[in-house]
C-alpha cells in the first residue's frame, strides 16, 4: 500500500508573503492535489523578536487569494497540531530528551548542540538527483546548535521534529535549503525516524541572473492584489516557474495542472522571473473571463475609488464595453470614472488637439442638433446619423468622432464611441455635448 502523501508549507511570519514562498506553497499544493493527499500549513514562529500578527495575516490572505486551501493548519484545524511552532514547546522538549538520552547532545556556552556522527550523507533528491555530502570535517561542518542559550529553538531542529510529528511524506522546498538537508537527515537517524522524500525546487532569479530579493518588483504577493492582478493568472504564471506542460502552452487551467503535475517534471535549472509575461497572462485571463466574473472582481476597485455603482444594469453595460481594454483591475476606475460622474476633468492635451480648430466646435454643435432628433437611441442609428452628417458637412467621420469622444469623456481614448454613446443614453450625451460647447464659448 502506497503511503499517504502529506506535504507542508512552513513560512515564518516575519514579513510579507514572497512570490518564491507562494511558488513553493503552490508546488506543494499541486503535488498534494495530484495524489489526493493533504496540504498542511505550519507557521514557524519561533523567532519572537521578528514575528508579527500582520505578517501571519498576510500569509493567510495571500494563500487564500491564490486559491491554495490548506487541509490542516491555522483556521483549518487537524489532528496533528498545534500548527504554530510557538505552541509546540512540550513536543520539542520531549524529542530533546530523547536525543540527550541517546548521547547526541552536548552543552556549549549555554547553547545545546547536536553531536554530528561525522559521516557522508547521501541525499537522494527527486529534482536534484543524488548528492553525496561529506560531513566528516568539523571545520566545514560544525556541530549544529539546536537550542540557543536563551532557550529558543533553532529552525533545523524544530523543522525536523514537526515533519516527524505531522507525518510529512515529501518535503518540497527551495533549492537554497538543499545544503541543510544532510544536517536534517542526521537528526532523523539519531531519532530513529525515516526521513521524508526530498524535492528541492529551483530558485527564482531576476532577468539579470541575480536571486530575487524582497525589494525586487513583483516580489510581494500583496502587490499583485493591490494592482489588480487576477489570482488565476498569477497562479498560472507561478506554475510555469520551474514546471511546464511540455507543449509550449502558457495559459493552462489549474485543474489540468493538477492532473499533469509531477515532481520529476520540475526543471533543474533556475527559473527566470518575467513580470511582463505575468502581466500578459493577466490580460488574457481578463479578456477570456465571463462578464459576471469581471464585474465581481472590478467592483472592489470601483468602490475603493469612490465610484458610485448602485445602478447594476448601468454598471454592467459600462463594464461590458471597457472589459477588452482592461489589463489590470486597478485600471477599471480610470477607464470608467467619467461614465458615473458629470464633473469629469478634460485632458488639456486632448482638448487642444481636437478643438484647436474652430470648425471642431461647430461640428460638435451640428452633431448635437442631429442627435437631438434621434428617437431610437441605439448603435445602428447613432453610427448612421454621425456618418450621414459627416457626408453632409464634407468632413471625415473622425472629424465628428473625436470631438464627440472628448466631449462625453474628457479623453481622447476609450472604448468604441458608438457603444459609449449608447450606454450613456441620449440625455446624458446631449448634456455633455452642451457642457463642452459652453466651455469652448462656441454658443
214 is catalytic: yes
Long-range (24+ apart) CB contacts under 8 A made by 352-360 are: 353/412, 354/402, 354/403, 354/406, 354/412, 355/403, 355/406, 355/440, 359/395, 359/399, 360/399, 360/402, 360/403
Of 337, 354, 221, 231, whose CA–CA distance to 289 is shortest?
A: 231
Residue 46 and residue 15 in contact, taking contact as beta carbons nearer than 8 Å: no
Is the C-alpha dihedral spanning 28, 7, 213, 202 positive or negative?
Answer: negative
Residues 341, 305 contacting (CB under 8 angstroms): no
Rounded Cα distance between 428 and 433, Å, is 9
| Count of Cβ atoms closer than 10 Å to residue 151 Cβ | 9
Dist CA 291 CA 11 (whole Å): 36
CB 207 within 8 A of CB 62: no
Tell me whether strands 111-114 and 105-108 are parallel, antiparallel or unpaired.
Answer: antiparallel
Q: What sign does the CA torsion over 42, 48, 51, 53 have?
A: positive
Instruction: Return the biggest CA–CA distance within the chain.
Output: 101
Angstrom distance (rounded) from CA 19 to CA 62: 10
Annotated active-site residue in 97, 211, 214, 431: 214
On whether the CB atoms of residues 105 and 96 are closer than 8 A, the answer is: yes
CA 44 – CA 266 distance, rounded (Å): 26
Q: What angle do CA 406, 410, 411 make, to 5 degrees?
A: 75
Chain-centre distance for alpha carbon 57? 16
Rounded distance between C-alpha atoms, residue 347 and residue 357, angstroms: 16
Instruction: Cell numbers for 306, please give them.
Output: 469612490
| 174, burial (CB in 10 Å: exposed 0-12, middle 13-18, buried 19+) | middle
Instruction: Please tell me whether residue 36 adopts helix, strand or coil conformation.
Output: coil
CA distance 28 to 54: 24
Catalytic residues: 214
Amino acid at each position: 500500500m502506497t503511503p499517504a502523501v502529506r506535504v507542508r508549507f512552513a513560512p515564518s511570519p516575519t514579513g510579507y508573503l514572497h512570490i518564491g514562498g507562494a511558488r513553493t506553497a503552490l508546488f506543494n499544493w499541486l503535488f498534494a492535489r495530484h495524489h489526493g493527499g493533504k496540504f498542511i500549513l505550519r507557521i514557524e514562529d519561533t523567532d519572537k523578536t521578528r514575528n508579527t500578527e500582520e505578517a501571519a495575516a498576510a500569509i493567510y490572505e495571500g494563500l487564500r487569494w491564490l486559491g491554495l486551501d490548506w487541509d490542516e493548519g491555522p483556521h483549518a484545524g487537524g489532528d496533528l497540531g498545534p500548527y504554530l511552532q510557538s505552541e509546540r514547546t512540550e513536543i520539542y522538549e520531549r524529542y530533546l530528551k530523547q536525543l540527550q538520552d541517546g548521547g547526541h547532545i552536548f552543552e556549549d556556552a549555554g547553547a545545546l548542540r547536536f553531536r554530528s556522527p561525522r559521516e557522508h550523507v547521501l541525499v537522494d533528491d527527486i529534482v536534484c538527483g543524488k548528492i553525496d555530502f561529506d560531513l566528516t570535517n568539523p571545520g566545514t561542518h560544525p556541530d549544529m546548535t539546536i537550542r540557543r542559550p536563551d532557550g529558543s529553538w533553532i529552525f533545523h531542529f524544530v523543522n525536523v521534529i514537526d515533519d516527524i510529528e505531522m507525518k510529512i511524506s515529501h518535503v518540497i522546498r527551495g533549492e537554497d535549503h538543499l545544503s541543510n538537508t544532510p544536517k536534517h537527515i542526521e537528526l532523523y537517524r539519531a531519532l530513529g525516524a525515516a526521513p521524508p522524500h526530498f524535492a528541492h525546487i529551483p530558485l527564482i532569479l531576476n532577468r539579470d541572473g541575480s536571486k530575487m530579493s524582497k525589494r525586487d518588483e513583483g516580489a510581494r504577493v500583496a502587490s499583485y492584489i493591490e494592482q489588480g492582478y487576477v489570482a488565476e493568472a498569477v497562479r498560472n504564471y507561478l506554475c510555469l516557474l520551474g514546471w511546464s506542460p511540455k507543449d509550449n502552452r502558457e495559459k493552462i487551467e489549474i485543474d489540468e495542472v493538477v492532473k499533469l503535475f509531477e515532481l520529476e517534471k520540475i526543471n533543474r535549472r533556475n527559473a527566470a522571473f518575467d513580470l511582463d509575461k505575468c502581466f500578459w497572462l493577466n490580460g488574457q485571463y481578463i479578456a477570456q473571463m465571463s462578464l459576471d466574473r469581471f464585474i465581481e472582481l472590478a467592483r472592489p476597485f470601483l468602490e475603493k475609488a469612490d465610484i458610485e455603482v448602485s445602478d447594476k444594469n448601468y454598471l454592467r453595460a459600462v463594464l461590458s464595453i471597457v472589459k477588452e481594454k482592461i489589463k489590470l483591475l486597478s485600471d477599471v476606475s480610470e477607464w470608467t470614472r467619467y461614465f458615473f460622474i458629470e464633473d469629469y476633468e478634460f485632458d488639456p492635451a486632448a482638448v487642444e488637439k481636437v478643438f484647436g480648430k474652430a470648425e471642431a466646435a461647430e461640428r460638435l454643435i451640428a452633431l448635437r442638433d442631429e442627435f437631438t432628433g434621434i428617437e431610437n437611441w441605439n448603435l445602428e442609428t447613432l453610427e448612421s446619423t454621425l456618418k450621414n452628417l459627416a457626408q453632409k458637412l464634407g468632413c471625415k467621420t473622425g472629424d465628428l468622432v473625436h470631438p464627440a469622444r472628448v466631449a462625453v469623456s474628457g479623453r481622447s481614448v476609450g472604448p468604441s464611441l458608438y457603444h459609449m454613446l449608447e450606454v450613456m443614453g441620449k440625455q446624458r450625451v446631449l448634456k455633455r455635448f452642451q457642457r463642452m460647447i459652453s466651455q469652448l464659448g462656441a454658443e
